[in-house]
Chains A and B, each alone.
Chain A
Amino acid sequence: MSGMSMVSDSLVIARRNLIRMTRIPEMVLFGVIQPVMFVVLFTYVFGGSMSVGGSTDPDVYKNFLMAGIFAQTVTFATAGSAAGIADDMQKGLVDRFRSLPMARGAVLTGRTVADLVQTCITLTVLAIVALIVGWRTGSAEPTNAGRVLGAFGLLLLLGYAFTWIGALIGLSVRTPEAATSGGIIWLFPVTFISNAFVDASQMTPWLRHIAEWNPFSATVQACRELFGNPGVVQSDAWPMQHPVWASLIWSVLIVGVFRTLAVRKYRAADG
């Protein structure tokens, strides 16, 4: 199948998924409410008792926290992709698509692209809420608009990469319900055993090691650096020393591996 058909077929499917979003606005809404709740809870409940780089100032924690919440939020798009694809399988839509002369990877690509749009919306709302509760870029180190946009770019790329993991989960489970929980439970250890919510340098050494090599941590560290926010960990671990590169490499690697696996699974899907 030609490259042209891959692009146009993916766009047809992305469009279909975006239309669905406008017909089920509550899904977009819940996608936004959950991280907003996290921002408010972490800022006001944990904010006073967390120490970042020796400081227990709630304002420091607030500025430290946002990169973590943003990164966690984009990865949670995984559940949406997984559930969406499992739903298409269950309803027989995947059978319909697989019987059509369309590009093989387009159903999944279209889905992940539509999920990326949802992630953009969520992230925009979240950034506004963060600003309202007092998050400021350049609070620790000077930064500029280009670097801040770069940070959001890395976040979106990470989110996109994780939706491919979601696609594979969606193709591997039997029901959309299983896909929703299967798409999210593993994200709790991934996002908590990291530098997202606590200063990783205060963890026990073996846990700290995991946290520093966690693909998710690289993006968080990169965002803190680019946002000019506090809490950038000094470490011997390569991903913590070169977080922007590490974030890019991890995300591209995840897309490469999981896209290949998911498309192969889709082709062979016995539904």
Chain B
Amino acid sequence: MRTLIKLSPLLIPFCVLFLGGMVLAVAQSLGFFAPLEAEGGLFAAYSRLLEPPFLRSFGFSLYVALVSALVSVGLGSVLAYGVWKLPASLQKTATLYKVPLILPHIAVAFMILVFWTKSGVFASLAFHVGLIDSAGEFPSVLYSGNGLGMILAYVYKETPFVILLALAMLKRLDPRLIQTAVMFGASRPRIFISVVLPHLKPVLHTTFIILFLYSFGAFDIPFLLGESSPAMVSIEAYNLYFQRDLSNRPAAMAMLVVMFLFAALFIGIYARVVSRMEMRERKL
């Protein structure tokens, strides 16, 4: 009891805001406390989520989240190793990589807009150096249905986060392990794959989960850079809740509940798979 009292500054906000919100979302998704009386039974809202538009939206969100998290983790770990290997005199200059960390996501989204639209900076540059004859010839990076704009924004924003965490881990890597690998004639890719990556593995797993789930459920970047069809699930939920009639609110809540359950399930399965892989490695 005394422990519970001591933990109350943490437990009370958690229970009221998170659990309270969750309970309300689940209740509304089931038709309770909804602004309009729900029709079609208890799980009507959930059955709407099995319709093709939502499934497409879910699949598209998975694809954007997976690609941006994978590219960020891959790029970030290589760049972190590069920064780690820099001479001490250049290490301070390399902290420039942190700049995107302090930029809000919305600012990054605007940067992507400014640079990559058909009337953006790169299109203009390409026109002026004669690579294209008109702005219309510039490749459709944004709004082309493949989520490239969002992926670019996420990679730009998330790669420094990976570098930050990977660098902290690399500080614990004995540089003589690299020297040993060099002595044995290992190439740079082999050193990275055989020595550096295994050392970074724990932090990369955690970072991947964080970035994947963030990109999967985030709203701001998809709001500016996302397509309308298929839309990211966060946008779909927003539209259902605010943009259409009140009868859609249970479906919007059902989406949010499914997103939460997916995140929890994803973490559980990911952790289990990683732990099994590591167990198998140990048993080899």
Does chain A bind chain B?
Answer: no
